[in-house]
Each structure stands twice: as structure tokens, then as C-alpha cells.
Amino acid sequence: MADRILGLLALALAITMAWMAQSYQAEFSYEPVGPRAFPLLLAAVLAVAGMWLAVRPGRAADATVWRPAPALLMVMAAMVVFALLFQTLGFVLATTLMALPVGRSFGGRPLPSLAAGVGLGLGLYFLFDKLFDVILPTGVLAFILGGR
Amino acid sequence: MGDTLQHLGEGFGVALAPINLLLGLIGSFIGTVVGMLPGLGPINGVAILMPLAFALKLPPESALILLTAVYIGCEFGGRISSILINVPGDAGAIMTAVDGYPMAVKGQAGVALSISAWSSFIGSFVAFIGIVLAAPLLARWALAFGPAEYFALMCFAFACITGLMGDAPMKAVLAAVLGLALSTVGLDSNSGVYRFTAGSVHLSDGIQFVVVVIGLFSVSEVLLMLEQHLVQAPPIRAIGRNLFNRAEMALTWWGTVRSSVLGFVVGVLPGAGATIASAMAYTMEKRLCDTEGTFGKGDIRGVAAPEAANNASANGSFVPMLTLGVPGSGTTAVMVGALSLYNITPGPALFTQQPTLVWGLIASMAVCNVLLLIMNIPMIGLFTRMLALPNWILVPGILAISAVGVYAIHATTFDLVLMVVLGIVGYLLRKAGVPMAPLILGFVLGDMMEQNLRRALSITNGELGILWESPISIGLWVGVATMLLLPPVYRRLSRRRAAAAAA
């Protein structure tokens, strides 16, 4: 079943790509192949691969069933929030906030997970920002960390 | 030849400069640890360190030496967890677990660990000789390549990776096309047309290489690790005798050399990687030596052969990357991306334009190998203790460092969100059995492939014939056909033979 879904999704993507690529036309051009040909070629190959998978799915892959485990959704959500708040909250706080749910999902107890987050946040901040000069956002902690 | 030796001498001068030696040492250590940790492989290690090396403003040769050390170190480290906990540290070490873990169960973990370090060293050493001999020749030959030949060569790379992928060639094709499609996002420099940007300014420059690699490999890996973190074999406590003896070395010697040569050849094929090399070497040794049916039950020859091939192939995959600009493995594809951060395009011209960079890199492979052997035999106890690092510290650490790497390039939230989205998509694709190596190869080669196709067709004003006109391109197209047709034919034949044997 998984293969059939994958194949159909690939086919849908191929159609979308082909539809978007239709309009890619150079104003004037010195070369016979414009910006449209390569994407269209890719869409065609993708469509063939997708149809192949939809019609002839592999037997082995069908045995795997995808179960949306709560822990999985939790880690995904934590990563999205981490990315969105990275700049606003600053590296140290965002990392702390991410490490708690992620650490919990990987079997850590609440307090140690939180401590790991604080340790990672501060440790990596000083390592990269102060020692290696890789500028990281300080966010709301700018007044303590000396914001830029 | 004298020319080569002189360049190699200069290369050793670069590789042995104090800063580069230190970076090689650090990289080798990090590589061994990353390779050993289940789930993290060379691509993750190199992908995470690449933006950091760039952000630290390392000069290009130093950055490359660091990344090379990490890559080779990973191939050394992957075997440790294969042997000790039956979980391969990286894909190239899968075959090592087959006999390595049974050896450990029998109380021979120390022997398995030391002989595999030794055969890894031999594998890399054979590959190093191969590179020194083959690379300059290939680079000189590659200067004759025009756009049509390059286009055929890249098709050959994709044929290698999909044909040798084994169980799911269609999924490998799918992955390669997805990678190629990702590479077309952004401004088309030839015509000024924005493609697949959906009007977003963040996408007008195209998708950042670092974002794709870290998303597809590190972030998706975290999700896969979450699924697996409950199912792990109990770790082996007793290591037993620490070092292999002379009889064991003699027993494995020819298998190690054979596998090294095989691994190097597979590594040089653009697209095919260490996973395929180690599987082929194991099968070959089993066929040649397994007269008593001990393979799979802890035969020391089954540990040495795949490790030698694995490392020879990893080193060998630098040959097409340096000489043709077409990476030989997923990890070297990432390194091409690293070079592009420095505005360096690998290819035959690199040997004449930047000889110190190329030869410094090649020499550092030899240096790192010696460092790794020294590190991997006496310090094995230290590494095995690191396997105890709990995932609830490790995983937030991976995510935080990945974010630092992505943020260091452009400092935008958009890239971070894209990283996570690509991570989730990558996870779902990997769950569906879609391999990631062809995808990353497609992403790296996409622009080059399209440009060469367009350039070739410009020469003839759209006449397709130019693509298969020269002897080189005809040869490459024959190679494409062989790579695509041989595996299914071979599989069918061996199935028929098995059926005949059963009847």
C-alpha cells in the first residue's frame, strides 16, 4: 500500500511540476533549449516512476505499516517550534525549550532533560558564538548574553 | 610520474602543517565517534560540520581536510557498534555485523575490533595508492570531456547508483529525479526565469545545499532513531583478548587485499558507494572461502573483508569527485557542496589550477589513516564507553548543532523551517523505502547536468545527435545500459539457477 501511495504522490507532483513549468519561457533566447525543457523532462521521468510504483508496488515495502506514534508527532512539533522561535527566543532558550520534549520522547526524565537543554544551549552558545565567532541569535536573553 | 611524486610531496607539506594535522586529528576523532553512534553516518557528520567549517572561516584546504578526516573516520567507526551491539554505526558497516557480532558473543570482541581496524587501514592504504596512480591520469583524460560527454557521464553516475541499489531501482530513480527537481528551484541564470519559487524571495536563490543535506539526513535521522530507540540488542560487556595474533592476520590477509581492490574499483564508479562495496566483498569472500559454513557465525574473514572494502571504497570515491567533479558517493556529493561554498568547482581543471588543494587533500587521507589506526587500536576502550551516551542528551545535541550549521549560512528562520520540513518529508520517504543517496546526488549534479545538456544542444542548435557522437560518450552510454540491464538479468539468472538446484 505504501508504494502505491508513494507512486500516486509522485505522479501528482509530476503533474504539478509540468503545469508550473509550462509558463517558463525566456523573453528572448540565444539557445535552443529554454528553461522549460529540463523541468518538463524531469516531470516526465517522475511520472513514469510514479506510475510504475502505483501499478507494480514492491511486496516487501507493503508489510511496513506507518503508525503515527504520539512521540513522533511530539518531536516533529518540537522541531517546528524550535525552528520558528530560534531567532525570537534566541539560541539558548530555544534549545532548552526543544530539549525538554525531545529528551522526554527519547526516555529522559523531565529534570535531566531540561538540564541537558540548558547545558547544551549555554555550552554550544559559548563554544560557537564566543569561541568560534559563529554568530547565534541571543533573542530575549540579549540583556544577559550581550546582544548584538 | 615524477611530477606526481613532486606534487604528492607538496601535498604532504600541506597535510602535515600543524593546523591541518590538528584538524585531521580532531576530524578523525569526531568521525570515529559519529560513525560509531548508530544512526549517524558519514553524511550526517560531514553535513553538520561543513557549515561550521565555513563559518569558522577555515581556508578551503583546511576545511576539506577536516571533512575528509570525518568521512574516513566514520568508515572506521561504523564497525565498532556493528561488532559490539549488532547495530551498524553507518550503512557501510552493515555487513560487518554479520560476523562481527557473533564473534563478540563468543568473547572475541577485542579480536574483531582490532582486525577490522587493521583491515580498514589496509583498505584505505590500497585506495590511497590507487588514487595517486589513477587520479592524475583520469584528470588529464577528463580534459577532453565536452558538455555532451559530461551529460553522458552524469547519466552513468545515476545508472550506477540505481542499478546497484538492488531491491528498489524504481525508488532510486524517483529519489534521483526528486533531487534533480530540487536543484532547479530558483533563478535560471541562462534566461532570468524564476522556477518553482512560488513567488517567495527566500527561494529565488535556490534551496541552500546545507539545508537540504541537514534536513534530509540529520533531522530525518532523529525521527528514525525515535522509532528504533527501544529495540536495541544488549551491549557486549567483555571484550576478551585485545589484539589479533599473527595466525589471524595471515588467515585474513589475502581476503583483505582482494576486498580492498574490489572496494576501490566500486568506489571509483561514480554513484556507487561503500554500502555496495562491502556487500560485494562479503559475498565474494563467502563464495571463495566459506567451505565449512562458518560465515555468519563469527568467521574472522567475514569481518575483515567488508571493512577493507568499505574503507577502500570511501577513499576511492574521491577519484571521480576530484577528477571529474562527479561525486562517487553520497558523502563526496556533500563535499562537492562544501567546495561550492568556497566557489571552487571540482573537476579536471582543479589538478592544474589548485594542485596544493588537491594534493594536500590526497596526502591528508594517508595521514588521517595512520592517525585512525593509532587511535582505533589502543583507544578502543574510550570509544566503547562513548556508546553509553544516552539518546536524550545526544538527540537534542544533534538538533541544536544542525540548527547552528543551517543558521550560520544565511541567518534566516525560513531556512530553519525548511530544514525541519525537509526532515519530515525525508523521514516519510525513507520509511517508504526511498534511498537518500541518489536524491542528494541528483541535487548536487542537477545544475551541472542541465547546463551541460543545454550547452551541448546549443552547439548543434538543438540537434540531439551530439549527445552520442564521440567515442567517449558512446562508451559511457554503453556503460549506462550495462549498469541498468545487468543487475536484473543477473538476478533472474541466479534465481533460475537456485530453482534448478532445488529441483
pLDDT tens digit sequence for B397-409? 889 988 888 888 7
User: How many residues are given for chain A?
Assistant: 148
Residue in A with minimal Cα distance to B226:
A106
Cell output for B8: 604528492
The DSSP secondary-structure symbol of B314 reads: H
- Whole-angstrom distance, CA of residue B226 vs CA of residue A73: 11
C-alpha B123/C-alpha B305 separation (Å) is 9
Is there a contact between B313 and B278 (Cβ–Cβ < 8 Å)? yes
B174/A64 touch (CB, cutoff 8 Å), yes or no: no
Instruction: Judge whether residue A65 has pLDDT over 70.
Output: no
Residue of B407, B427, B448, B451 for testing the chain A interface, max A β-carbons within 10 Å? B407
Point out the domain boundary residue: A21, A36, A60: A60
Size of interface A-B (CB pairs under 8 A): 201
Q: Give the range of the structural domain holding residue A142, as residue numbers without chain letter.
A: 68-147
Q: Which of B57, B158, B171 to mutate to test the interface with A (most CBs of A within 10 A)?
A: B171
In this structure, the number of other CB atoms found within 10 A of the CB of residue B22 comes to 13
DSSP letter for B92, please.
Answer: G
Whether the pLDDT of residue B503 is over 60: the answer is yes
Shared domain check, A143 and A73: yes
Number of domains in chain A: 2
Last residue in a domain, options A38, A60, A82: A60
Whether residue A106 is found in the same domain as residue A129: yes
In chain B, the residue whose alpha carbon lies closest to the alpha carbon of A45 is B177
Residue A62 is predicted with a pLDDT of: 45
Q: Return d(Cα B273, Cα B78) in angstroms, integer.
A: 15
Q: Residue B234: pLDDT band by 50, 70, 90 thresholds? A: low
Q: How far apart are CA B52 and CA B31, in angstroms?
A: 15
Determine whether the interchain pair B432/A20 forms a contact, defined as Cβ–Cβ distance below 8 Å. no
Q: What is the pTM of this model?
A: 0.80
Do A29 and A12 belong to one domain? yes
For residues A97 and A117, membership in a common domain is answered with yes
Q: Which is more confident, B238 or B143?
A: B143
Set of chain B residues whose Cβ sits within 8 Å of the Cβ of A60: 167, 433
Distance, CA of A66 to CA of B428 (rounded, Å): 9
CB atoms within 10 A of CB B154: 26
Whether residues B190 and A133 touch (CB distance < 8 A) is answered with no
Element at B316 (helix H, strand E): helix B301-316
pLDDT band at residue B232 using 50, 70 and 90 as cut-offs: low
- Picking from B6, B1, B14, B3, the residue whose alpha carbon sits closest to that of residue B365 is B14
A131 and A78 share a domain?
A: yes
Q: Which long-range contacts (CB under 8 A, 24 or more apart) does A92-95 make?
A: A92/A118, A92/A121, A92/A122, A92/A125, A92/A138, A92/A139, A92/A141, A92/A145, A93/A121, A93/A139, A93/A140, A93/A141, A94/A121, A94/A139, A95/A120, A95/A121, A95/A124, A95/B396, A95/B400, A95/B403
Q: For position B106, what pLDDT does the model report?
A: 86
Q: Which chain B positions have a beta carbon within 8 Å of A43's beta carbon? A: 181
Q: What is the largest CA-CA distance in chain B?
A: 70
Flag if B433 and A66 touch (Cβ within 8 Å). no
Which residue in chain B is spatially nearest to A68 when comparing CA positions?
B227
| Residue type at position B400 | A
* Tens digits of residue pLDDT in B311-332: 999 999 999 888 888 887 778 8
* Partner residue facing B396 (CB), from A20, A80, A116: A116
Q: Residue B171: its pLDDT value, please?
A: 86
- Contacts A57 to B, Cβ<8 Å: none
Residues of A in contact with B180 (CB under 8 A): 42
* CA of residue B454 relative to chain centroid, distance: 29
- Residue with the bigger pLDDT between B351 and B39: it is B351
Lowest mean pLDDT segment, chosen from B67-71, B299-303, B364-368, B494-498: B494-498
Give, in degrees to the nearest 5, the angle at Cα B479 between B474 and B482.
Answer: 130
pLDDT band at B304 (very low <50, low <70, confident <90, very high): very high
pLDDT average, residue stretch B61-72: 92
At B103, list the grid cell. 564473534
Most B CBs within 10 Å, among A76, A84, A129, A138, to test the B interface: A76
pLDDT, position A33: 76
- DSSP code at position B325: S
Quick one: A37 and A4 in the same domain? yes
The predicted structure's pLDDT at residue B312:
94
A83 shares its domain with A104:
yes
- Cβ neighbours for A6, distance < 8 A, ≥ 6 positions apart: A50, A53, B171, B174, B429, B432, B434
Q: Please list every residue in chain B whose beta carbon sits closer than 8 Å to the beta carbon of residue A24.
A: 188, 191, 193, 195
Nearest residue, CB atoms, B190 vs list A35, A46, A50: A35
Interchain pair B454, A38: CB under 8 A: yes
Are A11 and A50 in a shared domain?
yes
User: What's the rounded Cα separation, in Å, for the pair A101 and A87?
Assistant: 19
Q: Chain A: nearest CA to B178, how far in angstroms?
A: 8
**Distance from B417 to chain A by nearest Cα, in Å?**
5
Q: Is the pLDDT of residue B389 over 90?
A: no
Calpha distance B91→B310 (Å, rounded): 10
Question: Are residue A73 and residue A48 in the same domain, yes or no?
Answer: no
A67: closest chain B residue by CA: B227
Mean pLDDT of chain B: 85
CA atoms of B95 and B100, how far apart (whole Å): 9
Nearest chain A CA: its distance from B439 CA (Å): 13
- Report chain A residues whose CB lies below 8 A from the CB of B450: 38
Claim to verify: residue A81 and residue A46 sit in the same structural domain: no
In chain B, residues with a C-beta closer than 8 Å to the C-beta of A83 are 403, 413, 416-417, 419-420
What length does chain B have? 503
Q: Which helix (H) or strand (E) holds B135?
A: helix B109-142
Q: Are strands B193-195 and B186-188 parallel, antiparallel or unpaired?
A: antiparallel
Out of A34, A46, A80, closest to residue B174 by CB: A46
Coarse DSSP helix, strand, coil percentages of chain B, rounded to the nearest 5 percent: 75, 0, 20
What integer best gives the mean pLDDT of chain A?
84
Whole-number percent of chain A with pLDDT over 70: 89
Tell me: do A53 and A87 sit in the same domain: no
Contact residues, chain B, for A16 at CB < 8 Å: none
Domain end residue (candidates: A60, A76, A105):
A60
Same domain, A55 and A72: no
DSSP state for residue B271 in the 8-state scheme: T
Interface test with B, best of A1, A4, A5, A6 (most B CBs within 10 A): A6
Q: How many helices (H) and strands (E) are present in chain A, helices listed first?
A: 7, 0
> How many angstroms separate the CA of residue A144 from the nearest CA in chain B?
20
Q: For B296, phi and psi rounded to 5 degrees? A: 90, -10
